[in-house]
């Protein structure tokens, strides 16, 4: 069992490229199932969740191969319409395969997805949308069996919340349905736009992705195409937060500054100087950050919930008090107790967390509670005196491509070490 060992404090300095977006890659790979033939995905990150998607694709009958940072999926022959339970449990976004399999095969059988570390994550909006498009759904004993007897049909959908996953599944179900589907209150995240761009290049007719209303005109068939995955805005936010807490100067290449607006506002308010290029962001941080006004997580284009924990870590040593309000997930403060072990002063009341900046943080052994919470601990460790050991590295590997290598290249003293002790600690943690 691996852990990350960080000797701090350090000052990050230098430049690095940002990986492709995990939250684009997973739905893109799922949708390649219904784009018959060969799809080529450039700038594809090597992540545990991507490996799980590949296992699912191979189970369904697709052929998949890596070449550098390009992943090719050949979905000429799809032979299965089920996803085994152990693969569904590995990651929440396995549910996005449902719409793709249904559109391609007319039936699908899978179990409820795993990954409930952020609190309850129901899929009612996904299933309601599919029912309205003509899918018969039977839920029993943790399995979901879906059938399309009389064909998928276009309809008008109103999502009661702009859920990212439900928008993606609705798109994938509608794209080859008979007639027009209108999705109201759709999620507006850049990853939805990326999915729509890929599908349109494959022959789909989708308009309005990135806005609240998406209109999908069903087409008869889709073919594969080549697509470059957008940069990961959460990884970029994590690296900027890490640089900021260390008083560093970094330049991120291969980013989309527009996708980072709410995060960049907070960084500026904290006292960082930013220079934006077309696909670059340069940040210079002051020796000590200012506290900021309330950070409220909201659906895009609001402040992303996935950047909440990295930002909270960033402000642990700020000058003043910051209020965080989590509005997307019920249980997204699990990193707080671990940040307190590093010397952070944080109080949680319901959906709010109050962070009082402290002068110093001190290295400790901490356990990643989830993917982004794990990133927050690494950020805290970079700014702590002495040694920080971050256990639960598997979480980080689900969303960050070689995080320790990237941070080392920016001057951090961080390494991955194998440690049996770490495994025991994590099990009892
Ligand atoms: C996606 C992202 C995740 C991000 C989240 C919110 C991927 C792979 N993951 O997750 O990183 O944190 O968006 O930006 O893209 N909800 C329901 N019923 C549903 C679906 C969702 O009540 O059927 C609720 C959820 O419980 C949650 C909220 O809606 O409270 C947002 O969830 P959603 O936008 O669906 O997130 P995911 O697609 O799971």
pLDDT digits (tens, 9 = 90+) for 204-256: 999 999 999 999 999 999 999 999 999 999 999 999 999 999 999 999 999 99
pLDDT digits (tens, 9 = 90+) for 317-351: 999 999 999 999 988 999 999 999 999 999 999 99
Radius of gyration of the chain (CA): 22
Q: Is 112 in the pocket of ligand 1 (CB under 6 A)?
A: no
Q: What phi, psi does 344 have (nearest 5°)? A: -65, 150
For ligand 1, atom 34: residue with the closest CA: 163
- Is residue 100 over pLDDT 70? yes
Q: Is 225 in the pocket of ligand 1 (CB under 6 A)?
A: no
Q: How far apart are CA 102 and CA 172, in angstroms?
A: 9
Q: How far apart are CA 186 and CA 115, in angstroms?
A: 23
> How far, in Å, is the centroid of ligand 1 from the Cα of 161?
9
Strands (E), 128-241: 136-140, 143-147, 156-158, 180-184, 205-207, 214-217, 226-228
Q: Are strands 226-228 and 38-42 parallel, antiparallel or unpaired?
A: parallel
Q: Is 7 helix (H, G, I), strand (E, B) or coil?
A: strand
Q: Is 122 in the pocket of ligand 1 (CB under 6 A)?
A: yes
Q: Is 119 in the pocket of ligand 1 (CB under 6 A)?
A: no
For ligand 1, atom 31: residue with the closest CA: 163
The ligand 1 atom at the shortest distance from the C-alpha of residue 93 is: 8
Residue 218 vs residues 41, 231, 355, 374: alpha-carbon distances, Å: 24, 29, 49, 41
Q: Which residues are catalytic?
A: 116
Residue 147: CB partners within 8 Å, gap ≥ 6?
106, 107, 135, 136
Distance spanning both ends of the chain, measured CA to CA: 14
Q: Is 398 in the pocket of ligand 1 (CB under 6 A)?
A: no
Q: Is 100 in the pocket of ligand 1 (CB under 6 A)?
A: no
Residue 141 vs residues 91, 111, 183: alpha-carbon distances, Å: 19, 9, 30
Q: Is 306 in the pocket of ligand 1 (CB under 6 A)?
A: yes
For ligand 1, atom 17: residue with the closest CA: 122
From the list 150, 170, 146, 268, the residue with the least C-alpha distance to 218 is: 170
pLDDT digits (tens, 9 = 90+) for 69-81: 999 999 999 999 9
Residue 82: CB partners within 8 Å, gap ≥ 6?
108, 109, 110
Which of 165-169, 323-327, 423-427 has the lowest average pLDDT? 423-427
Q: Which residue out of 115, 158, 161 has the highest number of ligand 1 atoms within 8 Å of its CB and is therefore the one to mutate? A: 161
- Is residue 274 over pLDDT 90? yes
The ligand 1 atom at the shortest distance from the C-alpha of residue 22 is: 8
- Residue 170: what pLDDT? 98
For ligand 1, atom 8: residue with the closest CA: 23
- Written as one string, the DSSP assignment of 335-373 is HHHHHHHTT-EEEEETTEEEEE--S-EE--EEE--SHHH
For ligand 1, atom 1: residue with the closest CA: 164
Q: Is 329 in the pocket of ligand 1 (CB under 6 A)?
A: yes
- Residue 18: what pLDDT? 98
- Residue 429: what pLDDT? 34
Q: Is 183 helix (H, G, I), strand (E, B) or coil?
A: strand
For ligand 1, atom 20: residue with the closest CA: 123
Tokens of 187: 């999620």
Residue 96: CB partners within 8 Å, gap ≥ 6?
26, 27, 30, 31, 165, 168, 169, 172
How many residues make up the chain in this entry? 429
Q: Is 53 in the pocket of ligand 1 (CB under 6 A)?
A: no
> How far, in Å, is the centroid of ligand 1 from the Cα of 375?
19
From the list 253, 176, 173, the residue with the least C-alpha distance to 218 is: 176
Return the bridge partners of 36, or none: 223
Instruction: Give the pLDDT band (50/70/90) at residue 119.
Output: low
> How far, in Å, is the centroid of ligand 1 from the Cα of 307?
14
């Amino acid at each position: 069992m691996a852990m990350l060992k960080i000797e701090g404090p350090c000052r990050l300095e230098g430049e690095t490229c940002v990986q492709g977006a995990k939250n684009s890659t997973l739905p893109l790979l799922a949708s390649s199932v219904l784009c018959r033939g060969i799809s080529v995905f450039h700038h594809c990150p090597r992540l545990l969740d991507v490996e799980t998607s590949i296992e699912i694709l191979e189970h369904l009958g697709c052929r998949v191969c890596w070449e550098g940072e390009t992943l090719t999926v050949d979905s000429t022959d799809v032979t299965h319409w089920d996803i085994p339970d152990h693969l569904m449990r590995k990651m929440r976004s396995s549910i996005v395969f449902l719409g793709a399999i249904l559109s391609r095969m007319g039936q699908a059988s899978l179990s409820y997805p795993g990954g409930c570390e952020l609190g309850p994550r129901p899929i009612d909006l996904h299933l309601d949308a599919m029912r309205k498009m003509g899918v018969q759904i039977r839920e029993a004993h943790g399995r979901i069996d879906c059938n399309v007897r009389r064909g998928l049909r276009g309809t008008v959908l109103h999502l009661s919340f702009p859920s990212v996953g439900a928008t993606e599944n609705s798109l994938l179900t509608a794209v080859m349905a008979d007639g027009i589907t209108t999705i109201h209150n759709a999620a507006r995240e850049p990853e939805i736009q990326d999915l729509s761009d890929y599908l349109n290049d494959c022959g789909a007719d989708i308009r309005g992705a990135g806005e609240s209303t998406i209109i999908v005109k069903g087409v008869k068939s889709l073919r594969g195409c080549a697509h470059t995955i957008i940069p990961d805005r959460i990884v970029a936010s994590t690296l900027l937060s890490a640089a900021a807490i260390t008083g560093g100067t970094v330049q991120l290449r291969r980013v989309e500054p527009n996708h980072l607006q709410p995060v960049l506002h907070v960084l500026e308010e904290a006292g960082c100087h930013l220079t934006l290029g077309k696909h670059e962001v340069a940040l210079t941080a002051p020796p000590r950050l200012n506290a900021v006004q309330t950070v409220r997580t909201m659906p895009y284009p609001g402040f992303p919930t996935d950047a909440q924990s990295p930002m909270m870590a960033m402000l642990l040593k700020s000058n003043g008090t910051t209020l965080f309000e989590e509005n997307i997930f019920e249980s997204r403060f699990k990193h707080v107790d671990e940040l307190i072990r590093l010397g952070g002063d944080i109080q949680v009341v319901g959906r709010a967390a109050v962070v009082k900046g402290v002068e110093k943080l001190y290295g400790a052994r901490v356990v990643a509670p989830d993917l982004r919470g794990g990133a927050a601990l690494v950020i805290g460790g970079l700014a702590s005196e002495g040694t920080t050991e971050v256990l639960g590295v598997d979480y980080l590997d689900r969303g960050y491509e070689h995080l320790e290598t990237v941070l080392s290249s920016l001057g951090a003293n961080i390494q991955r070490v194998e440690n049996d002790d770490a495994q025991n600690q994590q099990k009892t943690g």
